[in-house]
Structure 1
């Protein structure tokens, strides 16, 4: 089994969550691959680009893959599983279901107009600790990936905080309610899940143990 972690929007492989999980896997003598989804060009990020990048990491010999995705990385993971039977298990941490519906209303009409007309909008990048321009193509592309079209029954564990201020818990509840192959664990945390990482790791261990990889 190959394990890959997909970080969230405006994050990096050096985020606290990515480092925690990489070290936890390493302690079990398991490699966790953590690609940089920014690819040195955050300004032209799209979900389609992320999907293509991660597809290139899948073993050519058909080795099964478990994807662990955080926020937008979770949404990307779900779409990779939809497209590839090689993805046999998903762990989604506060997945960004309904991302645009939750994010765009936070922008003013002026900001949205500026983004559409100029092509770029400054977005704070947590990894870079500064604002970077993001092309409007990101929105146009993201609109082509509604979670309502995800239908492959791949075993999925969702871990989502009850106090999530970015993607409400209700988004994961709605997703899980109509997909019997999805387990949802509600945690006493916010979008970052940082205060409950030991619980997150314990849940990942139970969910991904060999006896569960049918």
Structure 2
């Protein structure tokens, strides 16, 4: 299984979460979306997925704005997905190609959302609304803020559980 991680708006492909994954021995592919709007990020991610072996399932992960990129792309890719891991995803956000915040629809793959109860940037209610749309979505609220730096161990453990 290949982990593909979409960093947030102010993040980078070498951010805290990616470094933690790599330090834990997780092979993670993290495209560089710096300076890109949502439509460009979706296109970049589609290009990345197109280059991967079609027989290799992908755990598509994204944080904040990257969570919106991952969720939207998951809805529109033919690449086999092992799962979707959304970290404080900005699912309340609409910008082309996303027509409206309620356009994010869960897909039929196992999906875990880890969202901080102390997040002041992305409302937990957006993740709650998304999770309520599908039995495939598990919401894990954690006592943390938006960046989830206190929840890195839980993020790593969640990825490891997918890899089993």
Moved over 4 A (4+): none
Matching of residues 42-191 of structure 1 within 5 Å: 42=35, 45-58=36-49, 59-85=52-78, 86-99=80-93, 139=95, 141=96, 144=99, 146-191=101-146
Quickly say closer, same or farther: Cα 1:61–1:17, change in 2 above 3 A. Answer: closer
Provide, for residues 129-149 of structure 1, a one-character-per-residue CA deviation record: whole Å limited to 9, x for no partner: xxxxxxxxxx5x265253434
Secondary structure of the residue aligned to 1:10 is coil
How many residues end up aligned between the 2 structures?
161
Q: 1:196 to 1:148 in 2, by over 3 A?
A: same
TM-score (norm: length of structure 1):
0.69
Larger % of helix: which? Answer: 1
CA deviation after TM superposition for structure 1 residue 14, in Å: 2.2
Offset of residue 60 of structure 1? 4.3
Match of 1:129 in 2: none
Instruction: Choose the corresponding residue for 1:196, options 144, 151, 155.
Output: 151
Counterpart residue number, 1:114: none
- For the pair shown, which has the larger CA radius of gyration, 1 or 2? 1
Task: Show structure 1 runs of 5+ residues with no match.
Answer: 101-138
**Are residues 20 and 151 of structure 1, via their aligned partners in 2, closer, same or farther at CA, if it must alter by over 3 Å?**
closer
How big is the alpha-carbon RMSD for the aligned residues of Structure 1 and Structure 2?
A: 1.8
Q: Normalized against structure 2, the TM-score is what? A: 0.88
Secondary structure in structure 2 of the residue aligned to 1:56: helix
